[in-house]
Structure 1
Amino acid sequence: MSLADAMLRRRSWPAVTDAAPTHDQLVPLVEAAASVADHASLRPWRLIELRGHARVRLGAALVEATGLEGAAAEKLAAKPLRAPLLIAVVSCHKPSIKVPDWEQDAVAAGVGHVLSALLDDAGWGVMWRTGHQTRTEPVSRVHELTPSETLLGWLYVGGKTDRILPPRRPFDASEVLSEL
């Protein structure tokens, strides 16, 4: 199968099973994702695996960030438990006179997208989740981010269910591709 075929087949999996790749299974996929275009080879990114109780700690940080209480807080705290593995995608701004922060963020996002596609190709269900809480102090604290780091979101990873996802809507590239 070609890379284009794999990308056309790739889908976001909003619900996954409790199966997840091991750390050792992730390593070669991360090594492959590191091949994204990276001006000055800064590698301005890192990934954090959240499994088990780390997901509970993240749920508590999400609640702290919002100040919700009661049933709403419980619902928010449970969100990180929707997948057995969360991979935090972190942009790490590095000093550079050639590469601005926005470009370093683009590299980190590229790693996240490529890793998502690689995980899908390896048979895992993946969905990239974000939200306003990614930029809050409690969530930064639970991820142990430094002042030069920004959380871009999480890849929720687990086994693919038997659910049949609806086909992708056709995409007309002429809507976004033009000539100058």
Structure 2
Amino acid sequence: MSKSLDSPVPPPVLAAAQARRSHSKVTEDAPSTAELERLLGAAGRVADHSALHPWRVIALRGEARARLGRALADAAGLHGSGAASLAAKPMRAPLLIAVVSSPQPSHKVAEWEQEAVASGVAHMLSLLLHEAGWGVMWRTGPHTRSKAVAAMHGLAPGEKLLGWLYVGGIPDRLGSSHDKRAPLEHRLSTLES
């Protein structure tokens, strides 16, 4: 028997989804590798046609974040203060999780569908991290799929970077937040016989 979504206590998954928000500012605390592995084990259970597991993640900590910053500046062709400003962006969180679409050969599952699986893993992981008490923000940008950034991550031919989950502690003062729920008007339709 399923639990009603209208009950006074919503199911844990619904409550977690309703509570999720992006945290653009985080503290220097970060989940351990063991905690990340545990959460990733659950995130990897997203719908995955033919169980191809067409994704992987790369944890960037410490100096790896600075290397990413330099790769972003190189990709942008920037020098001087512009390069320094862009290069500093990966330092905004102690842990960056690069999400990589890693398509597998398949005559049944198109590459776009495999990329959707990788996106699903990223979203599920961000939800699980938030539920575990971590601040998370999924960031991308114009240089996400540049050659310099791909080389810095050691991507194989055919792999595509989908962006990074910036992860850290949630500050004591969250500041103002606003409701980012998508209005459902024009987003839900029903086809009947």
- State the TM-score, normalizing by the size of structure 2: 0.90
Sort the Cα spacing of 1:179 and 1:44 in 2 relative to 1 into closer, same or farther, 3 A. same
- Aligned partner of 1:150 in structure 2 is 160
What SS does the corresponding residue of 1:134 show, helix, strand or coil?
Answer: coil
State the Cα RMSD in Å.
1.1
What SS does the corresponding residue of 1:108 show, helix, strand or coil?
Answer: helix
Give the Cα–Cα distance (whole angstroms) in 2 for the partners of residues 47 and 56 of structure 1: 18
Alignment deviations for residues 73-131 of structure 1 (CA, whole Å, 9 cap, x no partner) = 10000000000000000000111000010000000000000000000000000000001
Percent identity between the two aligned chains: 54
Give the Cα–Cα distance (whole angstroms) in 2 for the partners of residues 116 and 122 of structure 1: 10
What SS does the corresponding residue of 2:78 show, helix, strand or coil?
Answer: coil
Give the Cα–Cα distance (whole angstroms) in 1 for the partners of residues 185 and 63 of structure 2: 46
User: What are structure 1's unaligned runs of at least 5 residues?
Assistant: none
- Whose Rg is larger? 2
Give the Cα–Cα distance (whole angstroms) in 2 for the partners of residues 167 and 175 of structure 1: 21
Give the Cα–Cα distance (whole angstroms) in 1 for the partners of residues 90 and 182 of structure 2: 31
What SS does the corresponding residue of 2:109 show, helix, strand or coil?
Answer: coil
Give the Cα–Cα distance (whole angstroms) in 2 for the partners of residues 156 and 169 of structure 1: 19
Amino acid at match of 1:36: V
- Aligned partner of 1:37 in structure 2 is 47
> Which stretches of structure 1, 4 residues or longer, exceed 4 Å deviation after superposition?
none
Answering whether residue 126 of structure 2 is matched by residue 126 of structure 1, we say no
Contact 1:128–1:155 (8 Å) recurs in 2: yes
Give the Cα–Cα distance (whole angstroms) in 1 for the partners of residues 43 and 182 of structure 2: 25
Give the Cα–Cα distance (whole angstroms) in 2 for the partners of residues 161 and 35 of structure 1: 30
What SS does the corresponding residue of 2:144 show, helix, strand or coil?
Answer: helix
Contact 1:56–1:77 (8 Å) recurs in 2: yes
What SS does the corresponding residue of 1:151 show, helix, strand or coil?
Answer: strand
Pick the structure with more helix per residue: 1
Amino acid at match of 1:63: A
- State the TM-score, normalizing by the size of structure 1: 0.97
Residue 166 of structure 1 is aligned with which of 166, 172, 177? 177
How far did 1:170 drift? 5.0
Residue 97 of structure 2 is aligned with which of 82, 87, 90? 87
Amino acid at match of 1:97: H
Give the Cα–Cα distance (whole angstroms) in 2 for the partners of residues 72 and 99 of structure 1: 42
Worse overlay, 92-101 or 158-167: 158-167
What SS does the corresponding residue of 1:133 show, helix, strand or coil?
Answer: coil
Worse overlay, 69-78 or 115-124: 69-78
Give the Cα–Cα distance (whole angstroms) in 1 for the partners of residues 164 and 180 of structure 2: 25
- Aligned partner of 1:50 in structure 2 is 60
Give the Cα–Cα distance (whole angstroms) in 1 for the partners of residues 181 and 131 of structure 2: 21
